[in-house]
Structure 1
Amino acid sequence: MRQRYLALLSLFASLPAMAITFQTRLESVEWKVEGDQFECRLSQPITDFGAGEFVRRAGEQAIFRIKASGTIMGAGSATLLAAAAPWQPGRGDINLGSVSVSTGGFPFSSSQVQAGRLINGLLDGRSPLIRHYARDGGTMEVRLLPAKFNKAFSDYQLCVTKLLPMNFEQVKQTQVGFPGGGIELDAKAKSTLQTIVAYLKADPSVNQIELDGHSDNSGNRLTNRDLSRRRALAVMDFLKAQGIPEEQITLRFHGERYPLAPNTNNANRARNRRVNIHLDRVAPEEKPAPVASAGDAARTS
């Protein structure tokens, strides 16, 4: 494979500026579906180039990207098209806009909107096409073919139904509110915590949960600190009831010390009554003590 790749590079260097197209022969086209609870991928290998693939992470819409096996495609700009098939006379290409191309294993990634339009195009018999403009004036095209797409797309959609509601970047910093002023978890808070629990059970590498309780400034300092403690405890008790080990949980409470907004009206005070939740992956020797009995607020008072 490496010798073939080097031969292609040598050939391209010796040719005048021209258009070069990478695509798989129609009879050899295949689509692959891979994935788990965190990510689904729908890809088509491209002969002598790499692959084109749709990637959908948990909690997000799909993007389209190309994966290069070498550095044939250099940095620059490209046009992304949903191209009409040659056997569909009278249909024009759909220009989805200009995109940036870089060197490396994944030289190009689309927006979510562009990926959605490419999927609709494939279902309509169109080809995702990246037309890259080289510095020497030549043009390189990378094309996927729509053959066998519908069956593979059905399998991909089945994978998507099993994705978690959120990915780690979305779930690692979460907030549970107490807008009513008490310490009880409302329906919204429980729904948020259920999403966190689902992620924790799917990803055992996340083994550290930090709970930081907060209050507004309505009461005196001691009352506010106790309220923030009881709110953090309410969240911890919910997590424990769902099977999350207590030794993974660190609890702190801060009273009114760290408001999100000035405590100047009811809406702002409601925002400040909260528990911030931070998830992390911590090696065993790095883990802090599981529960801080008086928290940061007590140490700094």
Structure 2
Amino acid sequence: MKRLITILSILPMLAHAGVRHYAASVEQSDWQLDAPNRLQCELSHPVPGYGTARFYSRASKQLNMEFELDMLMLPDVYAMAAVYSVPPRWMPGAMQRTIAEMPLRRQYTGDLPKVPAWTMLSELEKGFWPTVQYQDWYNPYDKIAVGLNAANFTPAYQDFVECVANLLPYSFEDIQYSVLTYQKNTAELTKEAQKKMQMIGMYLKEDPQLELMLVDGYTDSYGGSGTNFNLSVQRAESVKQYFIDMGVDAARIEVTGHGERRHIAPNDNEMTRAKNRRVVVKMSRG
């Protein structure tokens, strides 16, 4: 009887013997909002001996969120990891819940899209530990369990949510090719073009990685060709000066005037001529 009791008592230990756990202790648990700006918000959590868990959202027309598990030892196989919401010890009776399956790709960090990423954040806010579990690709007898400790999460998470709410509602891809239209016979932008310029300016304030900006000015065919050429240059130069005032290095801006060449619409009525009165701004990043 005593031998049976002894065997039964060690069964739970045997059941967990093949799982290697990685998680920060309560004292180690650290959540940080890393270099917040209006282009990207990142919330990070180091996991000792394993790597770093990251949640991030970027400036875009659509609300977005991603989770990334940055591993010190990247996967060596293609596999799937299970992601659970695990109750801490101080929640007796609370049930473990399945959040998602996370693909593991060879030599890449693990990641999850918006819905499971937000779910993990909401579970952390409630005190649960999102935990990623998968078969070790080096040891067939072991599984790996990576837990995100909810201790000290709330203050950093509140800052993260505020950062996400303040992201620009557009990305670099939305402005990297922009067409600015003008009033007839002037270097005055239309109201729509003024708004576009403001969008570009707000983005450039946040992004120091601009490598090159090409500014090309065009006119319609109304008036003399020499006058139109000078007007196209004047329009392009005024755009260049605007961006210089926003902090862009003048050496990175190239201006070209094309006059009434390269029309994109007929010039036989006012509505179509208006499309030809334009400055095209093309940007590239380093």
> What TM-score do you get using the length of structure 1 for normalisation?
0.65
Does the C-alpha gap of structure 1 residues 179 and 161 become closer, same or farther in structure 2, counting only changes over 3 Å? same
| Local SS of the residue matching 2:117 | helix
Q: Aligned partners of 1:134, 1:39: CA distance in 2, in Å?
A: 33
User: Gapped runs of 5+ residues in structure 1?
Assistant: 1-16, 283-301
Does the C-alpha gap of structure 1 residues 92 and 178 become closer, same or farther in structure 2, counting only changes over 3 Å? same
Q: State which structure, 1 or 2, has the greater radius of gyration over its C-alpha atoms.
A: 2
The partner residue of 2:178 within 152, 161, 175 is 175
Q: Which amino acid aligns with 2:117?
A: A
Counterpart position of 2:119? 117
Q: CA deviation at 1:227?
A: 6.4
Q: Which amino acid aligns with 1:146?
A: A
| Local SS of the residue matching 1:28 | coil
User: Gapped runs of 5+ residues in structure 2?
Assistant: 1-16
Does the C-alpha gap of structure 1 residues 263 and 107 become closer, same or farther in structure 2, counting only changes over 3 Å? farther
RMSD (Å) for aligned C-alpha atoms: 4.2
Counterpart position of 1:252? 256
| Local SS of the residue matching 2:44 | strand
Q: CA deviation at 1:146?
A: 1.9
Cα distance per residue 1:17-72 (max 9 Å; x no partner): 9444322234532222221435432222212211211123444733211121224x
Counterpart position of 2:80? 78
Cα distance per residue 1:96-120 (max 9 Å; x no partner): 3x3322344x511222333222222
Counterpart position of 2:216? 212
Counterpart position of 1:32? 32
Counterpart position of 2:50? 49
Counterpart position of 1:69? 72
Q: Aligned partners of 1:263, 1:120: CA distance in 2, in Å?
A: 57
| Conservation of the 8 A alpha-carbon contact between 2:180 and 2:196 | no
Q: Aligned partners of 1:75, 1:264: CA distance in 2, in Å?
A: 63
Does the C-alpha gap of structure 1 residues 231 and 95 become closer, same or farther in structure 2, counting only changes over 3 Å? same
Describe how 1:68-217 pairs up with structure 2 within 5 A.
68-71=71-74, 73-79=75-81, 81-86=83-88, 87=91, 89=93, 91-96=95-100, 98-104=101-107, 107-133=109-135, 136=140, 139-160=143-164, 169-170=172-173, 173-178=176-181, 183-204=187-208, 206=210, 208-214=212-218
Does the C-alpha gap of structure 1 residues 276 and 130 become closer, same or farther in structure 2, counting only changes over 3 Å? farther
Does the C-alpha gap of structure 1 residues 211 and 94 become closer, same or farther in structure 2, counting only changes over 3 Å? same
Q: Aligned partners of 2:92, 2:194: CA distance in 1, in Å?
A: 53
Does the C-alpha gap of structure 1 residues 65 and 264 become closer, same or farther in structure 2, counting only changes over 3 Å? farther
Q: Aligned partners of 1:85, 1:153: CA distance in 2, in Å?
A: 19
Q: Aligned partners of 2:44, 2:141: CA distance in 1, in Å?
A: 30
> What TM-score do you get using the length of structure 2 for normalisation?
0.68
Cα distance per residue 1:166-206 (max 9 Å; x no partner): 66x43771303328767532333223323333443444553
